[in-house]
Amino acid sequence: MRLIIDTDTAGDDCFSILVAAAQPDVTIEAVTICNGNIVFEQQIENALKTLEVAGLGGKVPVYPGCPKPLLREHVNAAYVFGADGMSNAGFPRTRQRPEKKHAVDAIIETVLANPGEITIIAQAPLTNLAVAATMEPRIAKAVKHLWIMGGTDNGVGNVTPAAEYNFYVDPEAAAMVFNAGFDISLVTWTLSLSSSLMTEGDLAEVAAMGTAKSDFFTTVNESQVQFSRDHYGHAGTVHPDALTSACALVPGVVTETAECLVQIELDSLLTRAYSSVSSPRVPKQEIADPSLG
Amino acid sequence: MRLIIDTDTAGDDCFSILVAAAQPDVTIEAVTICNGNIVFEQQIENALKTLEVAGLGGKVPVYPGCPKPLLREHVNAAYVFGADGMSNAGFPRTRQRPEKKHAVDAIIETVLANPGEITIIAQAPLTNLAVAATMEPRIAKAVKHLWIMGGTDNGVGNVTPAAEYNFYVDPEAAAMVFNAGFDISLVTWTLSLSSSLMTEGDLAEVAAMGTAKSDFFTTVNESQVQFSRDHYGHAGTVHPDALTSACALVPGVVTETAECLVQIELDSLLTRAYSSVSSPRVPKQEIADPSLG
Amino acid sequence: MRLIIDTDTAGDDCFSILVAAAQPDVTIEAVTICNGNIVFEQQIENALKTLEVAGLGGKVPVYPGCPKPLLREHVNAAYVFGADGMSNAGFPRTRQRPEKKHAVDAIIETVLANPGEITIIAQAPLTNLAVAATMEPRIAKAVKHLWIMGGTDNGVGNVTPAAEYNFYVDPEAAAMVFNAGFDISLVTWTLSLSSSLMTEGDLAEVAAMGTAKSDFFTTVNESQVQFSRDHYGHAGTVHPDALTSACALVPGVVTETAECLVQIELDSLLTRAYSSVSSPRVPKQEIADPSLG
Amino acid sequence: MRLIIDTDTAGDDCFSILVAAAQPDVTIEAVTICNGNIVFEQQIENALKTLEVAGLGGKVPVYPGCPKPLLREHVNAAYVFGADGMSNAGFPRTRQRPEKKHAVDAIIETVLANPGEITIIAQAPLTNLAVAATMEPRIAKAVKHLWIMGGTDNGVGNVTPAAEYNFYVDPEAAAMVFNAGFDISLVTWTLSLSSSLMTEGDLAEVAAMGTAKSDFFTTVNESQVQFSRDHYGHAGTVHPDALTSACALVPGVVTETAECLVQIELDSLLTRAYSSVSSPRVPKQEIADPSLG
Ligand SMILES: [Ca+2]
Ligand SMILES: [Ca+2]
Ligand SMILES: [Ca+2]
Ligand SMILES: [Ca+2]
């Protein structure tokens, strides 16, 4: 499988790249950086560092993308991941440097040059993909499959009661991507709460491995462990981006799917970026309210 | 306890009235009718019938209220409860007739004449209470306590993915009531899914009692049993209004509460009437986004 | 003609009442007070004072109505009319006192008791009429005609660039009244700018009359003269409420009308209460945009 | 002056290019095509044809840009300009062909390579500029000046009562451009109604010139003459794009300006794309409403 990972590299974004790099039949064609968790320039460094840890230093180009959301003030998540998004690990700068080409141009060119070949994992706000699909709408059908980490299943969010971070940061971009005609699989925050939790025991098991990659994981995950302790009263951590990579790339991880209509709230501050996901619990709208039909 | 029940009498509204009538220390001062589940005039008849079954025929005045929501097209729920809201039972007309006085005037007068004395159970769209509090804002502090059945805990709704019926029908009224200064306890659709389910076994047990009240229950509940079979694949039914009465009136039913900020979505069609309920899963807004602070 | 005047009595509201009182064939059946320009209680006093000046002291009942808008924080206009709405004139309290009955009940009862007979002039935010039409929808068709001062003709407002004061204070009420089925004539702020201006010369002419009514006018109008001087660089004043009374009651004042669709903006803060008025300058919506059809 | 013209070439867009081409001290560096008036591909042909008529065939590169708005369904204006945007003139295809490079990349590269040198005239929906400023926010300060044709001065629109076409087609793009930090002059539809009208006499005068350019003008303007006859009852036409070029490029055309805050409505369908323009007729918002401050 040929892969582009669009990422706001911090914390779990790194682990997701490690998951992808570990798959024998996956080629990471590019890593593209989108505004998100932390300061934009640092996210580029974090992607380069993670590729180095994964043994891919110098082998996968990293393209900087859109440094800000389309329309909204940027909102960072440094309160979860530390100022550098790596639990303030202070890693030395990598030898590999980012490309000059813009991520949006890289996405368009790679996809159009390889129609039906490229899978994209989008684990950040969706600004880059939204802009790419606006400049060149044909990419939607030329992408093989698009995996998105974002939103909730009509459940409680992680930025406001109504919204999850990736969609909240750039809701217009999310709506544009869902309207663009991509073939999409959505991995929600709701799902990650039930299916991506690493317990204190799991984390200890990883730490005990003592490899370079497990040490990197443990170091980078430290801020999130602390955040869980402070806010949720336990020391486990959730891994929505890594879950998305696992669902996309590791056979057998996905055991059940549903075909849904997803709509993103743009018109209200209170529910900004709420992801309405059609549900069998809800009567068909034309029954409940003919005026919604 | 002195009680006003504001109701769109159909199905579970009836059972809620039965629950209230069965409490030894509760006096139902008035039943007020609000637009909601079914045709307005039929809701009045259903309230009168239920009071008769409860042994309160002629003893509790029934006041017709606002026949339509404030601003929105009415949405009925006859698809759940049958056209008459009683599973088309065809009950004969009661001897007791509704009052001439408007429900809104009755609420204002009763509350202001008995400051700190009257508890209200609101188990319908909130038009009557919103109008009463607009005409006479002092009622908010003069009511002893207001129990509301409506909304969700940031969960899936029953009319749209985002919204529950009572709030969906008149979201402006819901927002007005939450802003008016009442002392409110909210029983949500989300809670009723987990805590008000009567299983097939429970329903059989009630049917086996063979009393006038249990027969009434079984007859009136029939449409909802059918609805559950058709939509959820089981024959149990949920009872949010009766749960609200039980929470309000029966000691020991409520085992846990949380103090929350509730905000109602008014500005968007997609999330119309979404109830944002503050949650410990969500970082304080001033952390997540200073611009929301 | 039998008339109810719904008013937030301050400045020009008073002059509108004087205009109505001066018509030989007009009977003012009631004055109803709605939240608006200034402190609610003072508006009641101003209405009583104006009726006294008009020679109607003790002859027209004054009913206090809804003291606050439906859903929004109240916004006052004391910056235009002075704290007492009468240019701080310090008039002594009138002998006539307000009624106990609520304005909303008075409107419903008067209209239903005299179907097809009562004309209403609404020169304040529309809370009272919106609540009346919610409690008793039949009044819309039972009113003879409803004259409203409010909104703009897609022009610049007087509270925000998009909105006029009466609609801005309670936009939901405005929308409810336009949806309720009344037979409505709208006198907009836009029209009042071109057709209700009293120039410095006009005002001097009134002052020179030296009657009790002209003295009252000159005294009460003083704050608005000052406001015009400060904000518009001239000492003329506009009189939208008096223009409305004149249009409604004085033959020959209206020389041209157009049948329009009026829609009130509720969903956005930026354009809160904008009144969209259909215009021959705009292509039919189904031409411009089939999705709006 | 070095100029980029961003255009949805149809009707008046052509005349605006002619105006720019006729200025002795203006170099048109590029023409960029944005979605708008008519079918995207035809707009490219119209730009090429107009450059040929202006004597610039083969001398100014034409870059195709974003073929669709960011978020909304496209709305065309073929009902004004004819299906080909040239009154169905049937012009033969030009020798010059469009560039392969995307308009967005061309704008970014030209501006960043010539900081402080490039003036942009934007006479179409603002998708291209919004995307360029998202990919590369530094262009906002690197552009010398941005002239925009769009919106109204809180006046009646030409697509809905609230909105003008260019902003209506892509309101999010308009808001993004106004937020991006450009130095902007806005020429509104309201202004063009009073200041860009060519009367029947004016049009006859142009027709009488009998030059290649005047013939082109008369031919292309034919559909708009017909539209005016059908909708406005006269045969004059308005020229907002040409007015914008004239304001930007011809000394002495602009006689008066005002510094304003411009905000674009995004949250509501009724007022979609309304441009709120701060006005001296409106009291400072902090006076009118502290909650808006
Ligand atoms: Ca991420
Ligand atoms: Ca109910
Ligand atoms: Ca008034
Ligand atoms: Ca144009």
Task: Supply the DSSP string of A8-46, one letter for each residue.
Answer: --STHHHHHHHHHHT-TT-EEEEEEE-S-SS-HHHHHHH
With tokens 């937030």, the residue in question is C8
Confidence check: pLDDT of C7 > 80: yes
Q: What is the pLDDT of residue D279?
A: 86
Q: Assess whether pLDDT exceeds 70 at residue D284.
A: no
The CA-based dihedral angle spanning residues A20, A23, A29, A34, taken in that order and rounded to the nearest 10 degrees: 0
Cβ distance A288 to B160 less than 8 Å, yes or no, reads yes
Q: Which of C71, C137, C172 sits opposite B67 (nearest CB)?
A: C137
Residue contacts between B and D (CB atoms, under 8 Å): 3
CB distance D79 to D158 below 8 Å: no
Burial-class residue C13 by CB neighbours within 10 Å (0-12, 13-18, 19+).
Answer: buried
The rounded Å distance from CA C124 to ligand 3 centre is 4
DSSP per residue, C129-160: HHHHHHH-TTHHHHSSEEEEE---SSS--SSB
Q: Is the pLDDT of residue C286 over 70?
A: no
Residue B33 near residue B8, CB atoms below 8 Å: yes
- pLDDT score recorded for residue B181: 97
Pairwise CB contact (< 8 Å): C135 & B134? no
pLDDT in tens, D157-204: 999 999 999 999 999 999 999 999 999 999 999 999 999 999 999 999
DSSP labels for chain D?
A: -EEEEEE--STHHHHHHHHHHT-TT-EEEEEEE-S-SS-HHHHHHHHHHHHHHTT-TTTS-EEE--SS-SSSPP---HHHH-TTSSTT--PPPPS----SS-HHHHHHHHHHHSTTTEEEEEES-SHHHHHHHHH-TTHHHHSSEEEEE---SSS--SSBTTB-HHHHH-HHHHHHHHHTT--EEEE-HHHHHHHSEEPHHHHHHHHHH--HHHHHHHHHHHHHHHHHHHHHSS--EE-HHHHHHHHHHSTTS--------EEE--S-STTTT-EEE--TTS--HHHH-GGG-
Residue B76 DSSP symbol:
-
C-beta separation of B289 from A75 below 8 A = yes
To probe the interface with D, which of C72, C154, C172, C238 has the most D CB atoms within 10 Å?
C154
Q: What is the pLDDT of residue A288?
A: 55
Half-sphere exposure of A15 (CA within 13 A, CB side): 27
Q: Distance (Å) from the C-alpha of residue D139 to the closest C-alpha of chain B?
A: 26
pLDDT bucket at B285, cuts 50 / 70 / 90: low
Q: How far is ligand 1, taken at its centre, from the CA of residue A124, in Å? A: 4
Rg of the Cα trace of chain A? 18
Instruction: Give the Å distance between the CA of C115 and the centre of ligand 3.
Output: 26
Sequence-distant (6+) residues with CB within 8 A of B44 are: B9, B33, B62, B64, B98
Mean pLDDT across B27-42: 97
Structure tokens at A144: 């093989």
Give the list of residues 6+ apart from residue C93 with CB closer than 8 angstroms, or none. C45
Mutation target vs B (from C35, C40, C71, C177; most B CBs, 10 A cutoff): C71
Residue A292: pLDDT above 60?
no
Whole-complex ipTM: 0.93
> How many angstroms does the Cα of residue C138 sit away from the middle of ligand 2?
25
Closest to D156 (Cβ–Cβ): which among C79, C269, C282?
Answer: C282
Percent of chain A exceeding pLDDT 70 equals: 97
- Asked if the model's pLDDT at residue A291 lies above 70, the reply is no
pLDDT at C47 exceeding the cut of 80: yes
In three-state secondary structure terms, B189 is helix
Percent of chain C with pLDDT over 90: 90
Comparing A82-86, C98-102, D218-222, which segment has the lowest mean pLDDT? A82-86
Q: What is the pLDDT of residues D46-83, one digit of tens each?
A: 999 999 999 999 999 999 999 999 999 999 988 888 89
Cα torsion through A89, A90, A95, A100, rounded to 10: 90
Give the pLDDT confidence score for residue D285 in this predicted structure: 57
Is B73 within 8 Å of chain C by CB? no
% chain B with pLDDT above 70: 97
DSSP state of C122: E
C286 at interface of D, judged by CB pairs closer than 8 A:
no
Q: Return the higher-pLDDT residue of A78 and C15.
A: C15
CB within 8 Å of D61: residues ≥ 6 apart: D30, D31, D99, D106
Residues of C in contact with B178 (CB under 8 A): none
Q: What residues in D contact B268, CB-CB < 8 Å? A: 267
pLDDT computed for residue B233 by the predictor: 86
C144-195: pLDDT as tens digits: 999 999 999 999 999 999 999 999 999 999 999 999 999 999 999 999 999 9
**B80: pLDDT strictly greater than 90:** no
Q: Quote the ligand 4 centre to C267 CA distance (angstroms).
A: 29
Q: C90 to each of B15, C214, C276, D288, how far by Cα in Å?
A: 59, 17, 40, 24
Whether the pLDDT of residue A287 is over 80: the answer is no
Q: For residue A168, which of A157, A184, A181, A176 has the smallest C-alpha distance? A: A157
User: CA-nearest residue of chain D to B269?
Assistant: D268
Q: C13 Cβ partners below 8 Å, 6+ apart?
A: C7, C37, C46, C47, C50, C85, C123, C124, C241
Q: How confident is the model at residue A52 (pLDDT cuts 50, 70, 90)?
A: very high
Residue A230 has pLDDT above 60, yes or no: yes
**Mean predicted confidence (pLDDT) in D138-149:** 98
Mean pLDDT of D23-29: 97
Contacts of A35 (CB under 8 A, 6+ apart): A8, A65, A66, A67, A68, A69, A74, A124, A125, A127, A169, A170
Crossing angle of helices A103-113/A127-135, nearest 10°? 60
Please report which ligand is nearest the Cα atom of C169: 3
Of C39, C65, C75, C73, residue with least CA distance to C130: C65
pLDDT tens digits for range B54-72: 999 999 999 999 999 999 9
- Judged by DSSP in three states, B63 sits in strand
Mean pLDDT of B160-175: 97
B71, C137: Cβ pair inside 8 Å?
A: no
Q: Which of A261-265, B38-42, C114-118, C277-281 comes out lowest in average pLDDT?
A: C277-281
Q: Is the pLDDT of residue D288 over 80?
A: no
Mean pLDDT of A83-100: 95
Token pair for A264: 């993103």
Which residues in B lie closer than 8 A to residue C266 (C-beta atoms)? Answer: 71, 266-267
Mean pLDDT throughout A95-106? 98
Higher pLDDT, residue D149 or C283: D149
Q: Write out chain A residues lying below 8 Å of D126, CB-based.
A: none
Single-letter code of the amino acid located at C205: E
pLDDT band at C280 (very low <50, low <70, confident <90, very high): confident
Interchain CB distance below 8 Å, A159 and B283: yes
Supply C112's token pair.
């239903």
The pLDDT value recorded for residue B288 is 54
Using an 8 Å Cβ cutoff, are A38 and A10 in contact? yes
Among the partner residues A158, A265, A291, nearest to B270 by beta-carbon distance: A265
Which residues in chain B are closer than 8 Å to C130, comparing Cβ atoms? 70
**Cα distance between residue C218 and residue C213, in whole Å:** 9
- Under DSSP, the state recorded for B264 is E
Largest Cα–Cα separation, chain D: 61
Chain D touched by A78 (CB under 8 Å): no
Q: How many CB atoms lie within 10 A of CB C87?
A: 20
Lowest mean pLDDT among B100-104, C109-113, C275-279: C275-279
| Best mutation target, C34, C70, C272, to test chain B (most B CBs within 10 A) | C70
- Cα(C46)–Cα(C87) distance, integer angstroms: 11
Q: Coil, strand, or helix at residue B172? A: helix
Say which residues have a Cβ less than 8 Å from residue A138's Cβ, sequence separation at least 6.
A112
| Token couple for B34 | 């609000």
What is the rounded average pLDDT for all residues in chain B? 94
Handedness of CA D173, D178, D182, D184 (dihedral sign): positive
Determine how β-strand B262-264 pairs with β-strand A184-187: unpaired
Our CA-based measurement puts residue A265 at a distance from the nearest CA of chain B, in whole angstroms, of 7
- Taking alpha carbons only, the member of D56, D67, D62, D1 closest to residue D34 is D67
The secondary structure of D196-238 as a DSSP string is SEEPHHHHHHHHHH--HHHHHHHHHHHHHHHHHHHHHSS--EE
Share the mean pLDDT of chain A: 94
Candidates A156, A265, A283; nearest CB to B281: A156
Q: Find the helix packing angle between D12-21 and D40-53, rounded to 10°.
A: 40
Alpha carbon of B13 to ligand 2 centroid (Å): 5
Count A/C contacts: CB-CB distance under 8 Å.
Answer: 3
**From CA C50, how far away is CA C19, in angstroms rounded?**
11
Across C132-141, average pLDDT: 98
Please, are residues A129 and A177 in contact by the beta-carbon 8 Å criterion? Answer: yes
Q: How far is C232 from chain D (nearest CA, A)?
A: 7
Tens digit of each residue's pLDDT (9 = 90 or more) over A234-259:
899 999 999 999 999 999 999 999 99
A164/C280: higher pLDDT: A164
Using CA coordinates, name the residue in chain A closest to D131: A131
Nearest to D132 by CA among A131, A64, A137: A131
| Distance (Å, whole) CA B145 – CA C154 | 45
Q: Is the pLDDT of residue C292 over 70?
A: no
- Please say whether the dihedral angle defined by the alpha carbons of residues C137, C141, C144 and C149, taken in this order, is positive or negative: positive
pLDDT of B287 strictly over 80 = no
Of residues D169 and B279, more confidently modeled: D169
What values do phi and psi take at C207, rounded to 5?
A: -60, -35
| pLDDT tens for each residue of A155-175 | 999 999 999 999 999 999 999
Across the interface, do A281 and B79 touch by the CB < 8 Å criterion? no
State how far the Cα of D249 lies from the Cα of D256, in Å rounded to an integer. 15
Q: Which ligand is nearest to the CA of B126?
A: 2
Contact indicator for B162, A274 with CB cutoff of 8 Å: yes
Question: Which of D134, D139, D178, D269 to mutate against chain A (most A CBs within 10 Å)?
Answer: D134
In angstroms, the CA B183 to CA B198 distance is 30
Tally DSSP H helices, then E strands, for chain B.
13, 10
Report the percentage of chain D scoring pLDDT > 70. 97
CA–CA separation, C30 and C236 (whole Å): 31
Q: Among B72, B75, B271, which would you mutate to test the A interface (most chain A Cβ atoms within 10 Å of its Cβ)?
A: B271
**B residues 259-278 lying closer than 8 A (beta carbon) to A:** 263, 265-271, 274, 276-278
**B267: chain D residues, CB-CB within 8 Å:** 267-268
Q: Which of B105, B137, B179 sits opposite C67 (nearest CB)?
A: B137
Q: Which of B254, B262, B264, B255 is nearest to B279 (CA)?
A: B262
Cβ pairs bridging C and D (under 8 Å)? 117
**Confidence tier at B32 by pLDDT (50, 70, 90):** very high
Distance C163 CA to ligand 3 centre (A): 15
What is the CA(A190)–ligand 2 centre distance, in A?
30
The tally of CA atoms less than 13 A away on the side-chain side of residue C207 is 13
Hey, is the C-beta of A256 within 8 angstroms of any chain C C-beta? no
Average pLDDT over residues C2-13: 97
pLDDT of residue B231: 83
Q: Rg for chain C (alpha carbons), in Å? A: 18
Query: Is the Cβ of B172 closer than 8 Å to some Cβ of chain C?
Result: yes
User: Do the strands B275-277 and B262-264 form a parallel or antiparallel pair, or are they unpaired?
Assistant: antiparallel
Q: Give the model's confidence band at D293: pLDDT under 50 very low, under 70 low, under 90 confident, else very high.
A: very low
